[in-house]
Amino acid sequence: MSTAKTAEHDIYARRESEVRSYCRSFPVSFTKAQGSTLTDAEGRDYIDFLSGCSTLNYGHNDPDMKAALIEHISRDGIAHGLDMHTDAKAAFLESFEHHVLRPRGMEHRVMMTGPTGTNAVEAAIKLARKVTGRTNVISFTNGFHGMTLGALALTGNHGKRAGAGGVSLNDVTRMPYEGALGEDVDTLAYIETMLNNPSSGIEPAAAFVVELVQGEGGLNAASAEWVQGLAQIAKDHGALLIVDDIQAGMGRTGSFFSFDHMGVEPDMVTLAKSLSGFGLPFACVLIRPEHDIWKPAEHNGTFRGNTHAFVTAKVALEKFWADDRLRNQIALKSQVLEERLHIIAERIGGARIKGRGMMRGVDVGSGELAGRICAECFDKGLIIETSGADDEVVKVLAPLTTPMEQFKEGLDILDRAVEALVPQPMMAAE
Amino acid sequence: MSTAKTAEHDIYARRESEVRSYCRSFPVSFTKAQGSTLTDAEGRDYIDFLSGCSTLNYGHNDPDMKAALIEHISRDGIAHGLDMHTDAKAAFLESFEHHVLRPRGMEHRVMMTGPTGTNAVEAAIKLARKVTGRTNVISFTNGFHGMTLGALALTGNHGKRAGAGGVSLNDVTRMPYEGALGEDVDTLAYIETMLNNPSSGIEPAAAFVVELVQGEGGLNAASAEWVQGLAQIAKDHGALLIVDDIQAGMGRTGSFFSFDHMGVEPDMVTLAKSLSGFGLPFACVLIRPEHDIWKPAEHNGTFRGNTHAFVTAKVALEKFWADDRLRNQIALKSQVLEERLHIIAERIGGARIKGRGMMRGVDVGSGELAGRICAECFDKGLIIETSGADDEVVKVLAPLTTPMEQFKEGLDILDRAVEALVPQPMMAAE
Amino acid sequence: MSTAKTAEHDIYARRESEVRSYCRSFPVSFTKAQGSTLTDAEGRDYIDFLSGCSTLNYGHNDPDMKAALIEHISRDGIAHGLDMHTDAKAAFLESFEHHVLRPRGMEHRVMMTGPTGTNAVEAAIKLARKVTGRTNVISFTNGFHGMTLGALALTGNHGKRAGAGGVSLNDVTRMPYEGALGEDVDTLAYIETMLNNPSSGIEPAAAFVVELVQGEGGLNAASAEWVQGLAQIAKDHGALLIVDDIQAGMGRTGSFFSFDHMGVEPDMVTLAKSLSGFGLPFACVLIRPEHDIWKPAEHNGTFRGNTHAFVTAKVALEKFWADDRLRNQIALKSQVLEERLHIIAERIGGARIKGRGMMRGVDVGSGELAGRICAECFDKGLIIETSGADDEVVKVLAPLTTPMEQFKEGLDILDRAVEALVPQPMMAAE
Amino acid sequence: MSTAKTAEHDIYARRESEVRSYCRSFPVSFTKAQGSTLTDAEGRDYIDFLSGCSTLNYGHNDPDMKAALIEHISRDGIAHGLDMHTDAKAAFLESFEHHVLRPRGMEHRVMMTGPTGTNAVEAAIKLARKVTGRTNVISFTNGFHGMTLGALALTGNHGKRAGAGGVSLNDVTRMPYEGALGEDVDTLAYIETMLNNPSSGIEPAAAFVVELVQGEGGLNAASAEWVQGLAQIAKDHGALLIVDDIQAGMGRTGSFFSFDHMGVEPDMVTLAKSLSGFGLPFACVLIRPEHDIWKPAEHNGTFRGNTHAFVTAKVALEKFWADDRLRNQIALKSQVLEERLHIIAERIGGARIKGRGMMRGVDVGSGELAGRICAECFDKGLIIETSGADDEVVKVLAPLTTPMEQFKEGLDILDRAVEALVPQPMMAAE
């Protein structure tokens, strides 16, 4: 890991904590960004297949959001208003109701939490525990839900959990995600058997917290059948179903929610990342009305309801979710992506395609190879990262709005990087 | 609690969670803000003595920050860049080093956490546990540190803790803050005696987490002597000293940090609220270099390092902390505030002035009276809130930059509100 | 549940806690016992197929132990000596070494814990956590390990866990026992897959705590293959293997330990129940020498090392484990038991034989039926109880020394009780 | 620490766990005991001022208990009967009701727990949590309540807590015992202030668990005033008062219970140690009837209700508690003890007398000196041990029945040991 500047003069080496990470993979200084292109201080352009880990589903600095935000700031619109009523908040809520909730028949209420995904997850599990009077929460292998203690307890990743510094991460029971025990093992049967056994030692659950595509956990994608089965088990056992749609929501899998067309309606949904549309910190929990038993301020926070984010989020909803155009574009690009990833996967012995919609990648078998592929891509002007328990998946998280030409260009770079590093298909060796 | 609109047509009643709170005290819709003035949809102006709970120490929409932010957005500056290097981040870090750290001889590193105070607190205690290999953290009566499980365990407030839904908030030992046992009781002696007793049953502590003025806990202000004593006890027992300066920092008590001139250098400092200067979500932890043992990404998060906040924060540092002008203004206004609060307190039997610098208030003896005073103020065009275990403190958190004229105008409203509700001094009844 | 006496005059109703249980199933007053026969105050004899839940493997008041104990008491032998050296303790240790440890090549040390099984389990997991520096302990579905908080966390039974009064039972991960997911599901594959996945969210384990036959959990008996596989997984993952042999040990399954001839050597073994041979409170942990890192008194207790129990335990070891006679008797009786239970099971649709050696029973499909069978047996002079998550197993725990004639007599009573309650086989109904 | 035998041939070194402790202080082998005299294998007699840590309040092998026990065993009385009704159990309960409960107007029910003190404590806190629906339990500095996880969380001693192997000992709040903050500090004021503050961060308590004389914690004795104040605070805050009378009960402080004549009636009382009278494992919890909400078997255990202990306990109650003779003897000996300890304390600079009744000792200022005094005593034929956070108290726990002559003889040995080791008073040095 080298940086462009020498350590002596480097403000980062001198003053930023060792916890910094992405800057180690992409050791340049970025100065501007537009659409799917990032530009560094030396004027070099990079295609962005990382999208702020799915925070920039509509690309960088979307001109309409940008204009609305500048207009808001220019006219001294509220920048920070705690959770007071503002015109911007009302407009966002009405737009969210109109374009997202009402078309789906969802009665959910919106809880503005602190503007981080982990805060939304913490709020959701606190509420589920209050609603059910139970403390145990079920989460899944390879799940990723945040870094604060309550959410970290739900997170599977060993390295992240080690960050807790030895504190026990309690009141969570881990269950196997679809496919976690091998492709042919029915993990729902396991879950159901364990929960049905009164002597299993597993406490009754307040909630199941699940991602329908595991963004950090290796792009494992649950089937509709599995999700429905899980929802039924949760219901049968009096547990709430909480879908963590922080990374997979806002269009990433093809529709606004990852659970659209899956035949389930979650009791709660956590949203963050691309919710503002512009990359601004913003998070919320959607709550079925009967579960909205919060007392005022029982979960609070200084930045809940980021007004700048309301402004951009409203534009995003109206620009992208008022009709089917974006959905159709995603569908088309998803198909291209799948086809190209198949070709890429075939270059690598044993590689597997993972994910769903525009949240896909290739499990190349080792974190070491995946890391080298990403580094090679960066050299060639493509920003792309890994995912998975061993960082073994090269993950494509391009903005959903990437022009087709540029999208293919990025995939070409990826393809060539794989070709360069894995010169001949191992599978077809003989 | 009534709102201006009827529930039928009210988007908030229809779609926002019951957890919303400030909008219940101030049931109007705000549409713009400038300096220390908020304006509602009907064009009515309000003087802001709440400042987003000390998030707007430099007032609303400071013109210089505003200009810099619009310029940044206009030129497609990075809006979201995870924790990659950007020109905005480097500029912020250099400015922070130059204006804040270096003048104080502080070697601390800056850890960009998720942009909420609670996330900074969680990061700090995780790191303290890693550094010391101990799990117990000491926090204080009436302390407030956030709503996520790790930080909530440190928070004293019963109602907030109840939000955890029955989960035990563990690995924290509560100690009495200065004055918590009565004005003449030496709480340091208690703390020291308990920690020195090997059979006290109190586990060795990873850290002491303390606010030097307790913003939510009733504006209890620690003396320099107490803080120095506490720092010494922490040191003697191998515990790190973490100052939570989220609410009291960024000038609120008269200098940039609440611990300036207190004779201590914390091992870690948590900052948020006014750090961006503009009300944008932003938080960080300052860490002495020898404790910065994080592995890359061991504590991560989507919005760590909010680039828009870097832009405004840099302006704030250069505009307000390059010289002594703001400090002098705060000193002057603090004096005015103290004098006026004394007069106000004298109107109320048994009332006491609390706090330090521009973080002061009056303990009026009951939450009921404090609530009525704030409601009366709102009717008269002043936004002001309560604090304390029983909401018994009327808290003045005016922007530090409030023009003196407007500042006095706000204090006049408060004075008249008290006068109206407490017609004659109870103490001087006979 | 009625008792023989009216509540008015009943010292139990008046003064004993509602927690009492067995006296509700067997509402008579017992006054003496000899061998496998209990006698009540009215002179009625009962065959004992409960044996104090396997505490009386050698029957009641064995004449040789009785004589030794009376001799010890008569000569003012030590009754209570904390953990000081006594002639009785040395004699027990030498006998245990000679008859139990040395023949098996076991190097284990003996830790005298408080004289309850749960105390031995607590000591074992404390030590495993000290040895490994890990806190997570793996236990199994339907496992039963005791009622104190550490052991209760390992116990699966829902009703018992509810006794904790809402305290979270932490630092334990539950795994499926052999057969817990259905007869054809390989639970070792599940365990291994979960432990091998670094993002499974399961913390590295200090120990696996397992019963080879689950006495309270329904007489589930693990196969040698499963036990060996489990031992290998534990070893591969740096976890200690702790066999809880409190109920299954001391000959119950055919040999002294339940793991004899299973091809494994546990890192620790917990023993209690029949260890004294006479029904006296006594428990210990066997510890491989390299794990015996206790500091003196780090786990202590008033009654550790019950001297009266040393006296009887020594006689039991020399009388029953110096040669193969008892083992051969158990083998013979086990065969009879199995044959008779098959006949009994055939009377009941869907019934299954459970267990191993002299620790066997019939799963009759429901706790209701099992309870009625036991009640009917008691009416006919046989004391027998149920086991299992739903109390659905009629469990035969006769003293290993029961004369064959009396053993068959007891089985006849059981057979007739089933016959009376289940007049015709349901399976062969059409 | 040397032992009489060489390690090579020593069964203890070869086969007993390193956790053994008292045998290290008294490295001889005891073979018989009668009254207050222990005899070793070489025929040497020792006066016992340890009494099995107050387990042998009536001395060793009391002839009446011995006779009753031999008679019981001889006639094949029940040795082990789980919690079934037996003549021995009924007789004990009736005797306990007659001689202990009824004279005090106590309506309490008796819960037979596993026969260790720690098990009784675990049962009591489980029940208090069930009764109140709260999880937090308040215990005190220097409190000692047992080694299983629930009881260990209540125990203050650092070394014992370390035995938990890094598991957090949760759901307990530590409060200062009377005198823990210095003789002139009112700890009740502290407790009350903390509990009255809704933002103290201390969860509402299920129970206060307290010893009236802290046996292991240094013989700190609470005053009646403090105990009454504590009981009132518990009541005011809806917490149950649980007196742990395991070491201080059964006459040790002068009356049967340590709380007799203190003006309080605990909600629960835990008893063990001298309850059997003979040193046999036996423990119980006394529960006010309205709190006895256990379901049958919700807390169970193999050895609850040790029948041999019922036999001896009944004799003990009838022999020693049917009239005032023992009480009068204790009073007399307590006076002698106090006088002699004063003389001894005066030999040592800064020494203080601790404790109450026949549970007294001298704080000699350091564990090192206390240890040397005890070792010197042992050399001279007196068995005596230390207590306290630093083992700084030489503790006299003679059998209550020790003949006056022998009692004085023991005190003479102690006096001479102190004289030998501390030749001249340090206080009067100049």
- Looking at this predicted complex, what is its ipTM? 0.96
Amino acid at C229: G
Containing A37, the helix (H) or strand (E) segment is strand A37-40
**Average pLDDT, integer, range C228-237:** 98
Least confident of B60-74, C25-39, D6-20: D6-20
Containing C231, the helix (H) or strand (E) segment is helix C224-236
- Whether residue D326 contacts residue D401, with contact meaning beta carbons closer than 8 Å, is answered with yes
Cβ of A117 and B301 within 8 Å?
yes
* Confidence bin at B424 (pLDDT 50/70/90): low
CA C287 – CA C300 distance, rounded (Å): 16
B201: nearest CB among D156, D218, D388: D156
- Whether residue C390 contacts residue C315, with contact meaning beta carbons closer than 8 Å, is answered with no
CA C242 – CA B114 distance, rounded (Å): 43
Q: How many CB pairs under 8 A join A and B?
A: 399
Q: Is the pLDDT of residue C43 over 90?
A: yes
* Confidence bin at C430 (pLDDT 50/70/90): very low
**How many Cβ atoms are within 10 Å of C327's Cβ, its own excluded?**
17
CA A226 – CA A232 distance, rounded (Å): 10
Q: What share of chain D is helix, strand, coil (3-state, %, to 5)?
A: 40, 15, 45
Which token pair is D387? 């207590």
CA-nearest residue to B87 within chain A is: A31
C141: nearest CB among A155, A197, A388: A197
D389: nearest CB among B155, B158, B198: B198
Determine contact: A217 vs chain B, CB below 8 A: no
In chain D, residues 167-186 whose CB comes closer than 8 Å to chain B:
168-174, 176, 180-182
pLDDT of A286-341, one tens digit each?
999 999 999 999 999 999 999 999 999 999 999 999 999 999 999 999 999 999 99
Cβ of D166 and A166 within 8 Å?
yes
C160: nearest CB among D21, D159, D298: D298
pTM over 0.90: yes
Which residues in chain B are contacts of A165 at CB distance < 8 A? 125-131, 133, 135, 206
- Whether residue B245 contacts residue B258, with contact meaning beta carbons closer than 8 Å, is answered with yes
Which chains have 3 or more CB–CB distances shorter than 8 Å to chain B?
A: A, C, D
Q: Is the pLDDT of residue C94 over 90?
A: yes
Q: How many CB pairs under 8 A join B and D?
A: 111
Of the candidates C105, C54, C114, which has an alpha carbon nearest to the alpha carbon of residue C285? Answer: C114
Which token pair is A99? 């374009």
Residue A88 has a pLDDT of 98
Distance from CA of B94 to the nearest CA of A (A): 7
Mean pLDDT computed over every residue of chain A: 95
C-alpha distance across the termini of chain B, in Å = 37
Residues 6+ apart with CB under 8 A from B324: none
Which residues in chain A are contacts of B5 at CB distance < 8 A? none
Q: Is the pLDDT of residue A246 over 60?
A: yes
Q: How many CB pairs under 8 A join C and D?
A: 395
Beta bridge partners of D243: D210, D269
Determine contact: B350 vs chain A, CB below 8 A: no
- Whether residue C414 contacts residue C373, with contact meaning beta carbons closer than 8 Å, is answered with yes
**Average pLDDT, integer, range A87-105:** 98
Determine contact: D21 vs chain A, CB below 8 A: no
CA B310 – CA A29 distance, rounded (Å): 14
Residue A151 burial (C-beta neighbours within 10 Å; 0-12, 13-18, 19+): buried
CA-nearest residue to A169 within chain D is: D168
Question: How is D192-244 classified by DSSP, letter by letter?
Answer: HHHHH-TTS-PPPEEEEEE-SEETTTT-EE--HHHHHHHHHHHHHTTPEEEEE
Residue C108 has a pLDDT of 98
Determine contact: B16 vs chain A, CB below 8 A: yes
**Average pLDDT, integer, range A163-167:** 92
* 3-class state of residue A30 by DSSP: strand
Cβ of C170 and A171 within 8 Å?
yes
Residue D5 has a pLDDT of 47
Domains of chain D: 3-62+324-421 (3.90.1150.10), 77-320 (3.40.640.10)
C16: nearest CB among D109, D128, D160: D109
* 3-class state of residue A270 by DSSP: strand
Which chains have 3 or more CB–CB distances shorter than 8 Å to chain C?
A: A, B, D
Distance from CA of A37 to the nearest CA of D (A): 49
Distance from CA of D233 to the nearest CA of B (A): 16
B198: nearest CB among D143, D155, D158: D158
Which residues in chain C are contacts of A184 at CB distance < 8 A? none
CA-nearest residue to C167 within chain B is: B168
Determine contact: C158 vs chain A, CB below 8 A: yes
Distance from CA of A277 to the nearest CA of C (A): 30
Chain centre to alpha carbon of residue C218: 12
The residue of D11, D293, D303 whose CB has the most chain C CBs within 10 angstroms, and thus the best one to mutate to test that interface, is D303
Determine contact: C390 vs chain A, CB below 8 A: yes
Measured torsion, CA atoms of residues A331, A335, A338, A344, in degrees rounded to the nearest 10: -130
Question: How is C136-163 classified by DSSP, letter by letter?
Answer: EEEEETT----SSHHHHHH---HHHHHT
**Average pLDDT, integer, range C265-279:** 98
CA-nearest residue to C203 within chain A is: A158
How many Cα atoms are found within 13 Å in the side-chain-facing hemisphere of B15? 19
Q: Is the pLDDT of residue B8 over 70?
A: no
pLDDT of C173-204, one tens digit each?
999 999 999 989 999 999 999 999 999 999 99
* Confidence bin at A95 (pLDDT 50/70/90): very high
* Confidence bin at C349 (pLDDT 50/70/90): confident
> Kind of pairing, strands C359-363 and C352-356?
antiparallel
- Count Cβ neighbours within 10 Å for each residue of B204-243 and write b for 16 or more, e otherwise: ebbbbbbbbbbbbbbbbbbeeebbebbbebbeebebbbbb
CA-nearest residue to B287 within chain A is: A17
CA A384 – CA A373 distance, rounded (Å): 9
Cβ of D299 and C12 within 8 Å?
no
Determine contact: B149 vs chain D, CB below 8 A: no
- Whether residue A245 contacts residue A275, with contact meaning beta carbons closer than 8 Å, is answered with no
Mean pLDDT computed over every residue of chain B: 95
pLDDT cut 90: percent of chain B above it: 95
Mean pLDDT computed over every residue of chain C: 95
The residue of C5, C58, C147 whose CB has the most chain D CBs within 10 angstroms, and thus the best one to mutate to test that interface, is C147
Cβ of B115 and A26 within 8 Å?
no
**How many Cβ atoms are within 10 Å of A127's Cβ, its own excluded?**
29
- Count Cβ neighbours within 10 Å for each residue of B116-144 and write b for 16 or more, e otherwise: bbbbbbbbbbbbbbbbbebbbbbbbbbbb
Which token pair is D13? 């070194």
Cβ of D201 and B139 within 8 Å?
yes
Q: Is the pLDDT of residue A16 over 80?
A: yes
The residue of B19, B173, B268, B288 whose CB has the most chain A CBs within 10 angstroms, and thus the best one to mutate to test that interface, is B19
Cβ of B73 and A66 within 8 Å?
yes
CA D243 – CA D214 distance, rounded (Å): 11
D87: nearest CB among C17, C41, C55: C41
Determine contact: B73 vs chain A, CB below 8 A: yes
How many Cα atoms are found within 13 Å in the side-chain-facing hemisphere of B314? 18
pLDDT of A130-161, one tens digit each?
999 999 999 999 999 999 999 999 999 999 99
CA D374 – CA B198 distance, rounded (Å): 22
pLDDT of A388-402, one tens digit each?
999 999 999 999 999
Residue A424 has a pLDDT of 63
Residue B9 burial (C-beta neighbours within 10 Å; 0-12, 13-18, 19+): exposed
Determine contact: D97 vs chain C, CB below 8 A: yes
Which residue pairs, CB below 8 angstroms and at least 24 apart, start in B253-257?
Answer: B253/B212, B253/B213, B253/B356, B253/B357, B253/B358, B253/B359, B254/B327, B254/B330, B254/B331, B254/B334, B254/B356, B254/B357, B254/B358, B255/B327, B256/B100, B256/B321, B257/B104
Determine contact: A166 vs chain D, CB below 8 A: yes
Q: Is the pLDDT of residue B3 over 50?
A: no
Q: Which residue has the higher pLDDT, C5 or C41?
A: C41
pLDDT of B111-170, one tens digit each?
999 999 999 999 999 999 999 999 999 999 999 999 999 999 999 999 999 999 999 999
Which residues in chain C are contacts of A354 at CB distance < 8 A? none
A201: nearest CB among C174, C200, C202: C174
* Confidence bin at A9 (pLDDT 50/70/90): low
Determine contact: C301 vs chain D, CB below 8 A: yes
Amino acid at A392: E
Averaged pLDDT in 10-residue chunks for chain D of 430 residues: 49 96 96 98 98 98 98 98 97 98 98 98 98 98 97 95 92 97 95 97 97 96 98 98 98 98 97 98 98 97 96 98 98 98 94 97 97 98 96 98 98 97 60
Residues 6+ apart with CB under 8 A from B115: A115, A116, A281, A303, B272, B280, B281, B282, B283, B303, B304, B306, B309
Beta bridge partners of C32: C39
CA-nearest residue to B135 within chain A is: A167
Cβ of A79 and B60 within 8 Å?
yes
Which residues in chain A are contacts of D168 at CB distance < 8 A? 167-168
What sections of B284-389 are H helices per DSSP?
A: 307-320, 325-346, 367-379
The residue of A42, A167, A247, A378 whose CB has the most chain B CBs within 10 angstroms, and thus the best one to mutate to test that interface, is A167
- Helices (H) and strands (E) in chain D — how many of each? 14, 18
CA-nearest residue to B65 within chain A is: A73
* 3-class state of residue C175 by DSSP: strand
Q: Is the pLDDT of residue C87 over 50?
A: yes
* 3-class state of residue B265 by DSSP: coil
